[in-house]
Amino acid sequence: MAADVLEIPVPDDWHVHFRDNELLTTTVPATAEMFGRAVVMPNLVPPVTSVAAALAYRDRILHALPEESAFDPLMTLYLTQNTTVSDVQQAARNSHIIGFKLYPSGATTNSAAGVTSIADLDAVFAAMEEHHVPLLVHGEVTDPDVDIFDREKLFIERNLAPLVAKYPNLKLVLEHITTADAVEFVKSAGKNVGATITPQHLLMNRNHLLVGGIRPHNYCLPILKRREHQLALQQVVLSGNPKFFLGTDSAPHARDRKEAPCGCAGCYSAPAALPLYAEFFEQHQALHLLADFAAGFGADFYGYPRHQRKIQLQRKPWQVANSIDSTVGPITPYWAGETLQWQVVKAS
């Protein structure tokens, strides 16, 4: 393979937000173009709390796909205080449902219906452990007196460590990790605990959000942390540890919702997702690690086969669009107007 062409198995995105309805015609093709599977987040309004609602949402996603696409959306159910053991059992029986998403109430976009008391869901977690249903976790405390930069660390100490100790065989993914604390927690936990990492948390730290003016399109939750935490994420990915894998947390918002007095959290990285990760690995002379991180470790963790189909990237500089038209208005993508060195040229 020529040095300017990189071929890897088709990757998967283990954490993505599509939103719903007309916006799906923008978001779904962007992800399906370069990923074979994606774990779809359930924080719609109203949230996706039942198997029936998840399957109906999946049908809407499939309807938005280009013809002959082999893309497979893997659905999640929104965990609430009203989730039951029966809900877990139904999810376990359906191959299109990959797990439950735990949002602490108020932690991020459309999380008001999220969990207010982890302790009161013991029966649900026991059922998830018994039926091998994964728990996907947005790991932040939401106490108003806690510094926003400490929310992940304290969630691990107060909630996640006790939960994993109580249910040692529960398959759990700590989503979009941002801190050295999360890296160490996942590394020290059992093989049933993994983590996803976004492109923005590998490529940026909080200086990229705040220095030289506020950059609303770099604002996401969990928020970008100081450089020492960014370095911890980079180091564990570059170590080739299989517990850490790709999850973009791509989250579209209309530009006027981001550039607002109270701007939305979320980076819409889908249009450039794989090239963004390639950019990171090339910066560290580690392109040989991209295939496992993007197309292997996540599938292995969740128990899916790695794709046999291939995708090619070409070393050919290109500029990410400044704006993307959508039914909710213009969207500014992550890395807008900036140049990336690799682009997707062919999937087979």
As a 3-state breakdown, the chain gives helix, strand, coil percent values, each rounded to 5, of 40, 20, 45
What would the two tokens of residue 248 be? 């973009």
- Is 110 annotated to bind ligand? no
Strands (DSSP E) contained in the chain are: 5-9, 13-16, 37-40, 72-78, 97-102, 135-137, 172-174, 193-197, 244-246, 310-319, 339-347
- Is 19 annotated to bind ligand? yes
Three-state DSSP class for residue 161: helix
What would the two tokens of residue 120 be? 């009161």
Nearest of 93, 22, 19 to residue 63 by alpha carbon: 22
- Is 38 annotated to bind ligand? no
Would you say 282 and 302 are in contact if contact means Cβ atoms under 8 Å apart?
A: no
Three-state DSSP class for residue 16: strand
- CA 130 vs. chain centroid, Å, equals 25
Would you say 178 and 223 are in contact if contact means Cβ atoms under 8 Å apart?
A: yes
What would the two tokens of residue 229 be? 């935490």
- Is 249 annotated to bind ligand? yes
Considering the candidates 249, 256, 292, 300, report the single residue annotated as catalytic.
Answer: 249
Q: Running DSSP on this structure, what letter comes out for residue 244? A: E
From CA 218, how far away is CA 206, in angstroms rounded? 9
- Is 253 annotated to bind ligand? yes
- Is 278 annotated to bind ligand? no
- Is 265 annotated to bind ligand? yes
300 is catalytic: no
Which amino acid makes up residue 336?
A
- Is 17 annotated to bind ligand? yes
Annotated binding site for Zn(2+): 15, 17, 101, 138, 176, 249
Residues labelled as active-site residues: 249
Annotated binding site for substrate: 17-19, 43, 138, 221, 253, 265
Annotated binding site: 15, 17-19, 43, 101, 138, 176, 221, 249, 253, 265
